[in-house]
Structure 1
Amino acid sequence: MQNIILFILALLLTIGGLSYYSIYRTVAKSVNHMYEPLHRDSKSQDAVIGHDPISILLLGVDERPGDKGRTDSMIVLTINPKTKKSTMVSIPRDTRVFMRSKNTNIKINAAYTYEGIEGTVQTVEQFLNIPINYYIKLNMEGFKDIVDAIGGITVNNDFPFTLEGVHIPKGEQHIDGKVALKYARMRKEDPRGDFGRQQRQREIINQIVHEGAQLKSLKNYQGILTSLEKNIQTNLTLDKMIDIQSSYKEAVNNIKQIEVKGDDKKIDNLWYHVVKNETRKDLSKTLRHQLNLES
């Protein structure tokens, strides 16, 4: 979910700036529970926060009991503090990619099923030919807890639809976490398919950012932190989050959104989003330029 980093940073820094030290310690403890490093040797960790451009992989993962899960949403965010610009690339979950460790082509969302966060990061790095410095993983099932913790959100639905017994009418409405999860997941009834779903997900997270930054939400900071702690995993420490907010906030407010264009094709009885090699190279060139890397 592409603005979840903004939500986390805004919420933690607001609480940290306005609260007593005891509350800040609670925030730090929660972030520590979210922390999970990447166990790999990679030059991607060489970026110096506050000076170098950085990349963040944002993952919405559909994990349910008895299921390893798959990535439901995958976004690459690059932030350049000198140009004060950011790019946000939404990768369709059915994108056909080569997974080196399996020596075969897969849907990119299956990388998580095979090898978790490590395999997903490596597959995205190979697909886009860029290093991934940091990741943030959001459990989609627990997403509703976060929405409920901030008292719900307001969305403006383009057309009515029903998903898994939940009907969502057309128009502006205030919804709870259960409805928000359905609103974020639906794609089959959307004429825009996966891109329409990505647009609704952006709307939801923008509303979470808005609501989470309101002072009224701080009254429930403990509930919000509990929801984040249960449902988010990242290799960002609290110190790094604070450094990013301090050094990159202008760039984060200037985001260019890029879609991964391709064709939907059936290959070996499976539907894929097939991206031409030329398109992939052009996208890689754009991102590498944003990260100050050689083309």
Structure 2
Amino acid sequence: MPQEKPDLRSLSEPVRFKRALTLVLMTLVLPGSAQIVAGSKRAGRWAWRVIAGLIAVVVFLVLLSLVWRSGTINLMARPGTLRIVQILLVLLAIGWAALFVDAYRLGQPLTLERNHRLTTSILDAVLVFTVVGALIYGSVIVNAQRDFVASVFGSGQKSKAEKGRYNVLLLGGDSGADRIGTRPDSITLASIDADTGRTVLIGLPRNMAKVPFPAGTAMAERFPEGFTWKNCAANCLLNGVYMYGAEHKNLFPGDPNPGVTATRQAVEAITGLKVNYYVLIDLAGFRDLLNAVGGITLDVGKRVPIGGGSSPVKGYIEAGENQHLDGYHALWFARSREGSTDYERMTRQKCVMSAMLNQLSPQTVLTKFQGIAAASKQVVQTDIPAGDLGTFTDLALDAKKLPVSSFSAVPPLIRTGDPDFALIRTKVAEAVGRSEALDKGDSGGDGKTSSTPRSSASKPTSSSTKKTMKPSSSPSKPTNDVDDVASICKA
């Protein structure tokens, strides 16, 4: 038998009004409850089943993230998964809107006085637009995430951690239609512990000469004595390797990024570490990325010129503590050459990297994701596969709790015109060893590892995280040993 509509005319006007408002608000709190009470119980039960299913999925993902965070992130970051979430959000918005409209109908607004009918109509409309708008906005965010993952992260081959570490080559190049990464302005190898996320930043000056290449590679055969002026036409320095590789694709048949591959090979030979992945950043576009996250806060040890070189100095970033820099000023802080050495610039760049790592919170990423994703698509090029996104996100969350160590192959220890590559490899190994010893309980500071297994590594609390960075007043003279970046920047 079909359910008969209750006759509400026998109820007083205030009671009918309260009933209409209650049905609408019930739909906000528990979708389908209005139908269970006053409408189609079948529709209400279906709404409850959908809600129960969604809650079960969320609870499952939360529990899974507690035991396997990286795997959960990998699952949720897949473009296919994100597409399903996007469709579900849209369907949920349509279904919830339909329940609101039905709840309004069940309140029989035509039986209400004009003012009460208007109030009920306005409330229902506001709730529909609020709830549906939030869900549609959520679907837009998910679509931006899907587009970002598909655009930036490819389906490349996964690279296993080498001796318990991921080594990611960070290249910063000037912008331009045909110049991105052509002559990397910044070359840093981030060596990341695969268990703890503790990171060592290895800075390589762009003007390093005579760089070698791994035995057996085409570049090693072409340059058996290193990348020198004897067998190189122009810009025979480390930052010229990219251009040479890009201009001699025949040495890298079938390679879509020969310039990156040549630079990767040089860095491997210099440091003695296998490079798992690379990230190439357009430094000019980096400004937009910093603006998207709201800028960074730094302690500036001495004034840094804006401009200079072939163009006039346009101003200065003045010295001072807790200075909030937008993308424009943070970029000049990292790249300014006027009145400073390349080695000082390398230190400032590490300060910016460390500040971003420490200050970029999950809340910032969530609330400003569209801007971050839009900027990143124009700024970042990488061969990290989408399947490893969760792994590196997980490591980044761990790394936020730990100080970042650093080694720079710069004078006076290393003469960039005639480098001692054996010494560089020794110092890199010492830097990595000392970093690992911090997690293994070996505080001897000699770089030797203890017998404590990696899995027993202790993680310092977030109280050790440095929030602001200050460049040293004389950063062109870094220490010869591994340093905490916060100490270099005088946090």
Contact 1:58 1:77 in 2 (8 A): yes
* Residue of 280, 284, 287 corresponding to 1:141: 284
Q: CA RMSD in A?
A: 3.6
Deviations 1:220-244 (CA, angstroms, capped at 9, x unpaired): 2111111011100111123302123
Distance between the aligned counterparts of 1:218 and 1:70, measured in 2?
Answer: 34
Distance between the aligned counterparts of 2:328 and 2:197, measured in 1?
Answer: 37
C-alpha change, 1:38 and 1:119, in structure 2 (3 Å) is: farther
Distance between the aligned counterparts of 2:370 and 2:197, measured in 1?
Answer: 33
Report the alpha carbon displacement of residue 126 of structure 1 after superposing the two structures with TM: 1.9
* Residue of 236, 241, 244 corresponding to 1:111: 241
Contact 1:81 1:250 in 2 (8 A): no
In structure 1, what is the equivalent of residue 85 of structure 2?
21
In structure 1, what is the equivalent of residue 97 of structure 2?
none
Deviations 1:238-284 (CA, angstroms, capped at 9, x unpaired): 33021234368546735431121445999xxxxx4432144124135
**Secondary structure in 2 aligned to 1:26?**
helix
Letter aligned with residue 119 of structure 1: A
Distance between the aligned counterparts of 1:288 and 1:154, measured in 2?
Answer: 28
C-alpha change, 1:278 and 1:245, in structure 2 (3 Å) is: same
**Secondary structure in 2 aligned to 1:109?**
helix
Contact 1:79 1:248 in 2 (8 A): no
Report the alpha carbon displacement of residue 127 of structure 1 after superposing the two structures with TM: 1.9
Percent of aligned positions with the same letter in both sequences?
A: 21
Q: 77-86 or 121-130: which moved more? A: 77-86
Number of aligned pairs?
A: 264
C-alpha change, 1:249 and 1:156, in structure 2 (3 Å) is: closer
C-alpha change, 1:262 and 1:203, in structure 2 (3 Å) is: closer
In structure 2, what is the equivalent of residue 259 of structure 1?
408
The 5-angstrom pairing of residues 259-278 of structure 1 reads 259-262=408-411, 272-278=416-422
Report the alpha carbon displacement of residue 143 of structure 1 after superposing the two structures with TM: 0.8
Determine which structure has more spread, i.e. the larger CA radius of gyration.
2
Distance between the aligned counterparts of 1:155 and 1:53, measured in 2?
Answer: 29
Distance between the aligned counterparts of 2:155 and 2:270, measured in 1?
Answer: 22
Letter aligned with residue 419 of structure 2: V
Contact 1:152 1:175 in 2 (8 A): yes
In structure 2, what is the equivalent of residue 71 of structure 1?
184
**Secondary structure in 2 aligned to 1:78?**
strand
In structure 2, what is the equivalent of residue 47 of structure 1?
160
> Structure 1 residue 219 and structure 2 residue 367: aligned?
yes
Q: TM-score normalized by structure 2?
A: 0.47
- Structure having the higher helix fraction is 2
> Structure 1 residue 198 and structure 2 residue 346: aligned?
yes
Distance between the aligned counterparts of 2:152 and 2:201, measured in 1?
Answer: 23
Deviations 1:193-218 (CA, angstroms, capped at 9, x unpaired): 22322222222233333443152553
> Structure 1 residue 180 and structure 2 residue 330: aligned?
yes
Distance between the aligned counterparts of 2:368 and 2:167, measured in 1?
Answer: 31
In structure 1, what is the equivalent of residue 57 of structure 2?
none
Letter aligned with residue 168 of structure 1: I
> Structure 1 residue 151 and structure 2 residue 297: aligned?
no
**Secondary structure in 1 aligned to 2:273?**
coil
Distance between the aligned counterparts of 2:260 and 2:209, measured in 1?
Answer: 18
Contact 2:155 2:385 in 1 (8 A): no
Letter aligned with residue 271 of structure 2: L
Distance between the aligned counterparts of 1:84 and 1:36, measured in 2?
Answer: 23
Contact 1:62 1:71 in 2 (8 A): yes
Distance between the aligned counterparts of 1:199 and 1:219, measured in 2?
Answer: 30
In structure 2, what is the equivalent of residue 232 of structure 1?
380
Distance between the aligned counterparts of 2:292 and 2:399, measured in 1?
Answer: 29
Q: Name the structure, 1 or 2, with higher relative contact order (CA <8 Å, separation 6+).
A: 1
In structure 2, what is the equivalent of residue 4 of structure 1?
none
C-alpha change, 1:83 and 1:27, in structure 2 (3 Å) is: closer
Distance between the aligned counterparts of 1:229 and 1:118, measured in 2?
Answer: 21
In structure 1, what is the equivalent of residue 174 of structure 2?
62
Letter aligned with residue 206 of structure 2: R
Segments of structure 1 that go 5 or more residues without pairing to the other structure are 1-9, 40-44, 267-271
C-alpha change, 1:128 and 1:161, in structure 2 (3 Å) is: closer
Report the alpha carbon displacement of residue 29 of structure 1 after superposing the two structures with TM: 2.4
C-alpha change, 1:121 and 1:82, in structure 2 (3 Å) is: same
C-alpha change, 1:178 and 1:258, in structure 2 (3 Å) is: same
Q: 138-147 or 273-282: which moved more? A: 273-282
Report the alpha carbon displacement of residue 94 of structure 1 after superposing the two structures with TM: 1.0
Contact 2:168 2:279 in 1 (8 A): yes
